[in-house]
Amino acid sequence: MRYWPNPAHKTETSEAGPPVWVPDKDKCPDDMTVPERNALFAESIAVDPADRRSRRFVARRTADGRLELFDIKWSRDEAGDPEFHGHPASRIDRNVLKQMRDQGLLTLAEFNRLRKELPGC
């Protein structure tokens, strides 16, 4: 598995090339480094762990402690390996949200707020 950026979600040039203006796409934060992005991808939680192409989610804390959630989606297979791209999450799988809570990635207050605010997948 590997992560490959989608320029439609970028405000800066990445290894995938310059950003592409697509007004209805959520933009990724521009303060995330490639090593941090790759670490988040490695830590992401699959909706269906048995499916190598399963949608994945991950939580990130900013320098000031704010919580950011990312939706990581299969894009294509490259040389037989699944390739994914991510962007800020506007929904999240309920079981993944519970796993994030159980792993201490979310406080109970954050979990309760998010399960009400974000639709499930």
Following DSSP, what letter does each residue of the chain receive, concatenated? -EE---GGG-SS-BTTBS----TTSPPPPTT--HHHHHHHHHH-EESSTT-TT--EEEEEE-TT--EEEEEEEEEEEETTEEEEEEEE-S---HHHHHHHHHTTSS-HHHHHHHHHHSPP-
pLDDT of res. 106: 95
- Would you say residue 121 lies in a domain? no
In a domain, residue 65? The reply is yes
Does residue 103 lie within any of the structural domains? no
**Is it the case that residue 28 has pLDDT exceeding 80?**
no
- What pLDDT, on the 0 to 100 scale, is given for residue 103? 96
State the residue range of the domain holding 62: 2-89
Does residue 120 belong to any structural domain of this protein?
Answer: no
**pLDDT attached to residue 19:** 60
Give me the mean pLDDT over the 10-32 stretch: 67
Count the domains in the chain. Answer: 1
Residue 111 lies in a domain: no
Residue 46 covered by a domain: yes
pTM score, two decimals?
Answer: 0.84
Confidence of residue 7 (pLDDT cuts 50, 70, 90): low
